[in-house]
């Protein structure tokens, strides 16, 4: 039975509401509407600083009962996990709620050595998403959180560090 969890309002305040998950088509549409980058497949490649980068889009959603209301995650299916382990490939989680679009590029060290046959998860807290709404933010796990419109800026920062 669904129950209400932490959701972030455009003001940055937290409210309690039900969690929803976008379809892949909706996720791709949201990415395009916020970034202007047209994509038709998932995963996809973009050029940043003359380098090809592969991104795997995933929803950021509530982790599920019995986790606290502020704990969210991305699930990376095995078919995406093999792609995500390649160089210059990142998992881009997208949190969406009432016209919000907050991105998170998860630290590759969190999934590069995963050996699961079904999926793996990476977790993030509501508080990290709120910080990423303000500025490009790096949490304690080395994940980059940002408003989705700042995807190119965020990738430039990451690529300059690799």
Q: Which domain holds residue 18?
A: 5-161
Rg (the chain; Cα; Å): 15
> What is the pTM (predicted TM-score) of this model?
0.93
Tens-binned pLDDT, residue by residue, of the chain (162 aa): 578 999 999 999 999 999 989 999 999 999 999 999 999 889 999 998 889 999 999 999 998 888 889 999 998 877 787 787 788 899 999 999 998 899 999 988 877 777 666 567 888 999 999 999 999 999 999 999 999 999 999 999 998 876
* Whether the Cβ atoms of residue 34 and residue 148 lie closer than 8 Å to each other: yes
CB atoms within 10 A of CB 134: 11
Distance CA 134, CA 89 (A): 25
Spatial contact of 55 and 90, defined as CB atoms under 8 Å apart: yes
Tens digits of per-residue pLDDT, 51-81?
999 999 999 999 888 888 999 999 887 778 7
The count of structural domains within the chain is 1
């Amino acid at each position: 039975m669904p129950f209400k969890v932490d959701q972030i309002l455009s003001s940055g305040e937290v409210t309690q509401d039900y969690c929803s998950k976008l379809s892949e088509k909706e996720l791709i549409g949201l990415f395009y509407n916020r970034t202007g980058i047209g994509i038709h497949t998932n995963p996809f490649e973009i050029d940043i600083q003359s380098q090809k980068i592969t991104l795997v889009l995933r929803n950021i959603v509530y982790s599920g009962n019995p986790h606290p209301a502020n704990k969210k995650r991305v699930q990376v299916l095995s078919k995406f996990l093999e792609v995500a382990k390649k160089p210059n490939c990142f998992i881009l989680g997208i949190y969406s709620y009432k016209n919000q679009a907050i991105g998170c590029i998860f630290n590759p060290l969190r999934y590069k050595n995963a050996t699961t046959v079904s999926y793996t998860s990476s977790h993030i807290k509501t508080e990290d998403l709120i910080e990423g709404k303000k500025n490009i933010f790096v949490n304690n796990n080395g994940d980059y959180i940002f408003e989705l419109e700042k995807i190119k800026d965020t990738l430039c920062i990451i690529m300059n560090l690799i």
